[in-house]
């Protein structure tokens, strides 16, 4: 488990998705996104197993273990439009399908805010 701060998780999240956008364009398909995330994490953190190849998940799950009774996704530093970053009422809201520019524009969650 990678020990990162909220700020580091946000920075790495934005860096990875910006790099992906520059390399694959704004609307790569879900398969291309997953492959890119794996490749990016391997290249930048070869000795780490990043949870779901997502620095937000890595941070949230590490924090979850420190906060008894908390639900890890509610600790995510990004305020997603749906209940979870990968589920919800519309598949178009998913990180797997929304334009990367839209994903990068999602607001940060306040540190004391819950879904």
> Does residue 1 fall inside a structural domain?
no
Cα–Cα distance measured from residue 85 to residue 45, given in angstroms and rounded to the nearest whole number: 23
pLDDT at 115: 41
pLDDT at 85: 57
Instruction: Show the low-confidence residues of the chain (pLDDT under 70).
Output: 67-71, 81-93, 112-115
> Does residue 113 fall inside a structural domain?
no
**Overall pTM > 0.75:** yes
pLDDT at 64: 78
Q: How many structural domains compose the chain? A: 1
Cα–Cα distance measured from residue 107 to residue 36, given in angstroms and rounded to the nearest whole number: 23
* 37-2-93-64 Cα dihedral, nearest 10 degrees: 160
> Does residue 92 fall inside a structural domain?
yes
> Does residue 90 fall inside a structural domain?
yes
pLDDT at 88: 47
> Does residue 109 fall inside a structural domain?
no
| Residues spanned by the domain of 67 | 6-104
pLDDT at 80: 79
């Amino acid at each position: 488990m990678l020990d990162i701060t909220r700020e580091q998780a946000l920075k790495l999240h934005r860096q990875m998705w910006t790099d992906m956008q520059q390399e694959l364009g704004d609307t790569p398909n879900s398969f291309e996104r997953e492959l890119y995330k794996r490749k990016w994490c391997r290249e930048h953190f070869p000795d780490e197993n990043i949870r779901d190849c997502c620095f937000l998940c890595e941070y949230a799950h590490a924090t979850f273990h420190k906060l008894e009774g908390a639900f890890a996704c509610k600790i995510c530093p990004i305020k997603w439009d749906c209940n979870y970053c990968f589920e919800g009422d519309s598949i178009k809201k998913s990180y797997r399908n929304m334009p990367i520019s839209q994903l990068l524009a999602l607001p940060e969650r306040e540190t004391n805010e819950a879904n």
